[in-house]
Amino acid sequence: MTIAVTGANSSVGLNLLSHLTNSEDSVVNAIVRSDHAAESLPSSPAVTPKIIPYENVEQLTRAIEGASCVVHLAGVLIESKMSTYKKANVDTAAAVVEAARRSGPERIVLVSVIGADPDSPNRYLRSKGDAERLVTGSGVPSTIIRTPILLGRNTAGAAGLMRAATQEKVRLLGGGRYKMRPLDLDDLSRAILAAIKTRREGVSIYELVGPEIIRYRELVTRIANMVGRTPSIGTMPVWIAKAGAAIRSRAKGGGVSPTVIDVIIANETVEINADVELGIELTPLSITLEKILSEFDEA
């Protein structure tokens, strides 16, 4: 079975590639947009890098042709001048949908985010909602998996957590009192594999979150304690963080903005967790944290 993966060099992409190439019979067309990105892909006979500018729908169509499924991962939370929400989240989804219509894979799998909504007042959540709407309206059978913050190798979530946990004094947004349901990156890859194999018609939307609800400050304390540290946790008032982020992101044309801060501190609650329906056994948070620590030690 051939699977096409966009954003194959992303943290989700690299993890998914390792799951796909460990599984029986998959070969992967790993779609990236630069030589530099292609270099980060695993060198394996099962992985064929495809360096493609996403605006070139013809090349994208050729990269997807023959694949039974296209997994669309390209996207950003933190904008830059070259990667706005429109370019990275919406335009790439539009290009993938068009390429899928032309090349006819059996399924599109889109990784989205908890809270994605085309009518959201938050620009990031709105762009992810727009991407979902494009996929939903594509006419191609599709699976959308909405996720919370992801924890695993190369994820921004794990990097931020380790940064906070290894300081003596740390100031967290709003004292880190917001609640999260972090998801293990391997669990997301297993969910994507389940979605690839499903034969369901139409569009299925799943919300998949981790097994534990935890405040960010407790998460920082927990992982710090695992390495024998007890950081002193202070508060960065959200309004001050947002005011600073507004000035800096406007001056730089990207970076952490008030939009990003609102996403970070949003409660990651869901009505029904999709683990049972997707047949995923969720990794306990303590195991996820041990994995992060061992990857941090390796680096």
Given the rule CB under 6 A, which residues bind ligand NAP? 7, 9-12, 33-34, 37, 54, 73-77, 83, 87-88, 92, 111, 113, 147, 149-150, 155-157
Nearer to ligand NAP, 87 or 291 (CB): 87
Three-point CA angle 278, 185, 18, nearest 5°: 95
| Least Cβ distance, residue 92 to ligand NAP (angstroms) | 5
Closest CA to 131 of 205, 230, 29: 205
The 10 Å CB-count burial string (b at 16+, else e) for 214-234 is bebbbbbbebbeeeeeebebe
Q: CB of residue 169 vs ligand NAP: minimum separation in angstroms?
A: 26
We find the least distance from the C-beta atom of residue 186 to ligand NAP, in angstroms, to be: 13
The Cα angle at residue 116 between residues 31 and 34, in degrees rounded to 5: 20
Contact status, residue 179 vs residue 212, Cβ threshold 8 Å: no
Q: Which is nearer to ligand NAP, 96 or 203 (CB)?
A: 96
CA distance 249 to 184: 30
Residue 105 or 132 with smaller CB distance to ligand NAP:
132
Give the nearer residue to ligand NAP in terms of CB position, either 62 or 229: 62
CB-closest chain residue to ligand NAP: 75
Cβ atoms of 285 and 212 within 8 Å: the answer is yes
Among residues 87 and 242, whose Cβ is nearest to ligand NAP?
A: 87
Query: In this complex, which beta carbon is closest to ligand NAP, that of residue 80 or of residue 235?
Result: 80
Least Å distance, CB 110 to ligand NAP, is: 8
> Could you count the other beta carbons within 10 Å of the beta carbon of residue 93?
27
Nearest to 238 by CA among 178, 158, 168: 178
Closest approach, Cβ 168 to ligand NAP, in A, equals 26
Closest separation in Å from C-beta 34 to ligand NAP = 5
Query: Residue 72's closest CA among 95, 49, 51?
Result: 95
